[in-house]
Amino acid sequence: MAGKINVPVSVAVQGVANTAKQFQILGGSIGRLGKTAGIAGLAFGAFAGAVKAADFASNAIAGARDLERNMLGLKSVFQEVTPQMERFALNAQNVGLSLNDASKASIFIGSVLKQSGFSIQDTADLTERLVKLGTDLSLTYGYDVQEALMGMTALFRGEYDPIEKFGVAMKQSEINSELAARGLDHLEGAARRFAEQQIRVELLFQRSQSAQGAFERGTGTLAVEQLKLAAAFQNVQDTVATAMLIVTGK
């Protein structure tokens, strides 16, 4: 990496503290799973095997580089509300996303919303809701969370097929009809694009209601706790490596 690492010290320190706390919480969760379902040993064994097989040092350095890039990306997209998005990313392991993954998803979705005309505060608030919705959709329909996030961003580009496998059916003709019903069909250019995006967001949340909250409802299940544990472990690698690079000045 050229030059010194450019990650706020507070992010690295808070990330280490958060992940340490989360490991304690997850340990209790897995213990409870074992008592009720007899599967904690299998879950821990699979996790330990993955840890043993990984090249910790190499992965940690790569994670630190990603974290640097993602922190810069958050600042570029979210500007004065960057602290809000940093806090969201730091706590995203509670919905099964690592700090890096949550930051990357936030940059991706946030940039689309921002370019559509949403205010920077609305962009931040909506981004949080949409990233969380992505985890709910992935858990409900059995797809990777990245596919759910890609489906949503495709939707905002006017491509409706990718989101259909997550139970959300939508067509451009519906958007056009809704514009007309609201007396907005005369709009053109950026104003029309913004109006269309607002309608797409509304319909997305309306038509995904059955999946919303799925991750929280799954707390204590093997699937959810493994996702949380994997995110916490990834955060340990990334934030500890970042903190070490900051201390050494590399």
Distance CA 233, CA 244 (A): 17
Q: Are 136 and 213 in contact (CB under 8 A)?
A: yes
pLDDT by position in tens, the chain (length 250) = 444 555 554 555 555 555 555 445 444 544 444 443 444 444 445 545 555 545 555 666 776 778 888 889 999 999 999 999 999 999 999 999 999 999 999 999 999 999 999 999 999 999 999 999 999 999 999 999 999 999 999 999 999 999 999 999 999 999 999 999 999 999 999 999 999 999 999 999 999 999 999 999 999 998 899 899 888 888 877 777 666 666 555 5
Distances (CA, A) of 228 to 2, 101, 231: 32, 13, 5
